A and B are shown apart, each in its own frame.
Chain A
Amino acid sequence: MSDHTVAPTKPASQATQIRLLTVRMLLKVMREPAVTIPNLAISVFFLFTYNGAFGSSGVTSFPGVGGNYLNFILPVTVLFSSISGGAAGLTLVADLETGYFRRQLSMPLSRSAIVLAAILLGAIQVLVQATLILSLGLLMGADPAAGVGGALALLGFALLWGMGFAGYSVATGLKTGNAQAAQAATFIFFPLMFLAPVFLPMEQLAGWIQAIAKVNPTTYMLEAMRSVMIQGWVASSLIKGLVAGGIFASITLTAAVRVARSKTSRA
């Protein structure tokens, strides 16, 4: 060989590993737009159709909606876009299927860097998609009562929720090692999302749905996000949202770490 380089004595630092592996996964996701575009498109679709269907109906006069239905429904579409955090698990599954995951295990890489990079990818996806949806909503006439800070808070909640989904998808994806199974597992999103005060305020829901909605973390996430849109800064709503989202994310991320640990250790 013509070059005179010598063998490196030690691998890149863990921070560098995480950065390089995240960039690789981002490139991978961007090269497969068919995987990310539908989720974004559906969020946009929801924003238009729900607003179109209910925006000029009597619903706007319900207490809790606050007159502008767009302010009420925007948090739903932002939350919907944050399931894109599931890309974390799907990307890992793709690597499992091609064998690239195993190749990484034969390299002097930090095991947690491999999984953290995937979760970071999920976070970036959530932020990008939620920002797009939020911007669209603002253009359409949403006006957060808590101002610019409120809009940023909305993104923060989307990120927290997205991390919950990222953890969930990493845990199910690594556990099954199968794209279809990992995809199917994301259907948990539907009961979580729709057994909550999505289109109507809590008080307007049927009794049995109300009962379930009260223990559904989505409810508290939505109410926290709506509070910044409709009311301004309401500490109690924000705290409940943070606690609910935090519990959800810490459960799924703990599961992700546990599955990842067994998957990256030698059989």
Chain B
Amino acid sequence: MSMIEVSDLQKTFGKGDEAVHAVRGVDFQVDEGQIFGLLGANGAGKSTCVLMLATLLAPTGGSARVNGFDVLKQPNEVRQSFGAALQETGLDPLQKGVELLELHGRLYGYDKQTSKARAADLLETVGLSDDGGRRIGTYSGGMRRRLDLAAALIHHPRILFLDEPTTGLDPASRRAIWEEVSKLKSEGVTVLLTTQYLEEADQLADHVAIMADGVIAATGTPDDLKAGMGADVVDVELADEAEAARAAAAVGLEAKVVGNEIRISATDGPAVLARVMNQLRDAGIEPKGVSLTQPTLDDVFLNLTDGGSGHE
């Protein structure tokens, strides 16, 4: 079942000559329990999409459904269905962490006891058990993000919107968020994630859409997108040029000699690498070094976004 369905979604800010077409007809859907990564440079339209799904912006065209509810016609049902950690965390510095979670638990409909239990549980989940009693104003950026994630989860939402959840975080905090997101996926939560980090999308997302200039420029699984970029490259380093020529002969016609290396391009790099190593051993040739280069989402991304020059 599709938990998020977006069809020809559009958003234009302003009118006439000053109109900015932030989102210009976007389609995608996210199935239950999937992590969908919306990738793009600043100003590509990712956050605008998320804000429309989170009922904070009204679409100017097209439609979107969250958990089966229409974002324009059934906003309260939509709001009860999702949890969101947006780019600006929106926390009150005078409030204590635990107060925020308990209050929100009750607002979403839990009784007092359940809210308390949920708050304590979530503080533990995000590693803030010792800090819950402190005012949010004393938290570091990473702690705020983790509290924000806990707040997004307070009502056991089936759908989670994460708008650049790790931007500006140190690697350890980033990894902690990734682990939590993977765990949520294993519990069946559907996640829409926006990110500028290709590595993040590659690590987490089942499905990726790359946005540029308000439209989806490419979509598929991370592997599909990388495969679309062409071949893997196997490089084998040898003692000298003569040895490289012998190695090329042993491996066959697809091998090219480049100095003291041979290079083989193939769609299935790892299998070719294993075959080449066997052929060299059979021919009694000892490689000095081996490398396998696979295209990354960076290559896909840069290819689609003209070197990443997003429009603000």
Pairing of A with B: yes
Q: Which residues in A have their C-beta under 8 angstroms from that of B109? A: 8-12
Q: Is A98 an interface residue (CB 8 A)?
A: yes
Instruction: Check if A20 sits within 8 Å of B107, measured CB to CB.
Output: yes
Q: Binary interface profile of B, 54-91, with partner A (CB < 8 Å = 1, else 0)? A: 11111000000000000000001101100010101111
Instruction: Check if A103 sits within 8 Å of B90, measured CB to CB.
Output: yes
Query: Whole-angstrom distance between the alpha carbons of A24 and B94 in the complex?
Result: 10
Could you tell me the distance in whole angstroms from the C-beta of B192 to the nearest C-beta in chain A? 14
Given contacts A20-B107, A106-B84, A267-B57, contact A5 B156 (CB under 8 A): yes
Instruction: Check if B95 sits within 8 Å of A7, measured CB to CB.
Output: no
Instruction: Check if B107 sits within 8 Å of A109, measured CB to CB.
Output: yes
Q: Which residues in B have their C-beta under 8 angstroms from that of A100? A: 90-92
Residue of A nearest to B117 (CB): A3
Q: Binary interface profile of B, 146-190, with partner A (CB < 8 Å = 1, else 0)? A: 000001000111100000000000000000000000000001000
Q: Is A143 an interface residue (CB 8 A)?
A: no
Which stretch of A26-34, A39-47, A70-78 is in the interface? A26-34
Q: Which residues in B have their C-beta under 8 angstroms from that of A139? A: none
Q: Is A148 an interface residue (CB 8 A)?
A: no
Query: Whole-angstrom distance between the alpha carbons of A107 and B103 in the complex?
Result: 12
Q: Which of B57, B89, B103, B107 lies at the interface centre, i.e. has the most chain A CB atoms within 10 A of its CB?
A: B107
Instruction: Beyond the given A1-B187, A11-B109, A108-B76, please list 10 additional residue pairs across the A-B interface where CB-CB is below 8 A.
Output: A3-B117, A3-B121, A5-B110, A11-B108, A28-B92, A94-B92, A100-B90, A106-B54, A106-B55, A267-B58
Given contacts A7-B155, A20-B107, contact A95 B92 (CB under 8 A): yes
Could you tell me the distance in whole angstroms from the C-beta of A105 to the nearest C-beta in chain B? 6
Could you tell me the distance in whole angstroms from the C-beta of A234 to the nearest C-beta in chain B? 45
Q: Binary interface profile of B, 112-143, with partner A (CB < 8 Å = 1, else 0)? A: 00100110010001000000000100000000
Query: Whole-angstrom distance between the alpha carbons of A98 and B135 in the complex?
Result: 14
Instruction: Check if A11 sits within 8 Å of B92, measured CB to CB.
Output: no
Count of A-B contacts judged by CB separation below 8 Å: 103
Q: Which of B54, B76, B158 lies at the interface centre, i.e. has the most chain A CB atoms within 10 A of its CB?
A: B76
Q: Is A214 an interface residue (CB 8 A)?
A: no
* Size of interface on B: residues with Cβ below 8 Å to A: 40
Query: Whole-angstrom distance between the alpha carbons of A20 and B110 in the complex?
Result: 13
Q: Is B21 an interface residue (CB 8 A)?
A: no
Q: Is B256 an interface residue (CB 8 A)?
A: no
Q: Which of A3, A20, A99, A266 lies at the interface centre, i.e. has the most chain B CB atoms within 10 A of its CB?
A: A266
Given contacts A8-B110, A105-B56, contact A3 B118 (CB under 8 A): yes
Query: Whole-angstrom distance between the alpha carbons of A218 and B30 in the complex?
Result: 60
Q: Is A261 an interface residue (CB 8 A)?
A: no
Instruction: Check if B92 sits within 8 Å of A266, measured CB to CB.
Output: no
Query: Whole-angstrom distance between the alpha carbons of A105 and B155 in the complex?
Result: 16
Instruction: Check if B55 sits within 8 Å of A266, measured CB to CB.
Output: yes
Instruction: Check if A27 sits within 8 Å of B107, measured CB to CB.
Output: no
Q: Which residues in A have their C-beta under 8 angstroms from that of B55? A: 105-106, 266
Q: Which residues in B have their C-beta under 8 angstroms from that of A107? A: 79, 104, 107-108
Query: Whole-angstrom distance between the alpha carbons of A102 and B92 in the complex?
Result: 11
Query: Whole-angstrom distance between the alpha carbons of A5 and B104 in the complex?
Result: 15
B94 contacts which of A10, A20, A28 (Cβ < 8 Å)? A28
Query: Whole-angstrom distance between the alpha carbons of A21 and B100 in the complex?
Result: 11
Q: Which residues in A have their C-beta under 8 angstroms from that of B27? A: none
Q: Which residues in A have their C-beta under 8 angstroms from that of B125? A: 1
Q: Which residues in A have their C-beta under 8 angstroms from that of B56? A: 102, 105-106, 266
Instruction: Tell me which residues from 107 to 134 in chain A have a Cβ below 8 Å from any Cβ of chain B.
Output: 107-109
Instruction: Check if A108 sits within 8 Å of B58, measured CB to CB.
Output: no
Instruction: Check if A28 sits within 8 Å of B95, measured CB to CB.
Output: yes
Q: Is A17 an interface residue (CB 8 A)?
A: yes
Q: Which residues in A have their C-beta under 8 angstroms from that of B93? A: 98
Q: Binary interface profile of B, 10-37, with partner A (CB < 8 Å = 1, else 0)? A: 0001000000000000000000000000
Q: Is B106 an interface residue (CB 8 A)?
A: yes
Enumerate the 7 nearest inter-chain pairs by beta-carbon distance, A residue then B residue, closest first.
Answer: A8-B109, A99-B90, A266-B58, A103-B90, A7-B156, A108-B79, A108-B80
Instruction: Check if B94 sits within 8 Å of A31, measured CB to CB.
Output: yes
Q: Is A16 an interface residue (CB 8 A)?
A: yes
Q: Binary interface profile of A, 89-103, with partner B (CB < 8 Å = 1, else 0)? A: 000001100111111
Q: Which residues in A have their C-beta under 8 angstroms from that of B86? A: 102-103, 106
Query: Whole-angstrom distance between the alpha carbons of A9 and B56 in the complex?
Result: 21
Q: Can you report 11 residue pairs joining A to B where beta carbons are below 8 Å apart?
A: A1-B187, A7-B157, A11-B107, A11-B108, A27-B94, A98-B93, A100-B92, A102-B86, A107-B107, A108-B107, A266-B57
Q: Is B99 an interface residue (CB 8 A)?
A: yes
Could you tell me the distance in whole angstroms from the C-beta of A56 to the nearest C-beta in chain B? 45
Instruction: Check if B80 sits within 8 Å of A11, measured CB to CB.
Output: yes
Q: Which residues in A have their C-beta under 8 angstroms from that of B103? A: 20, 24
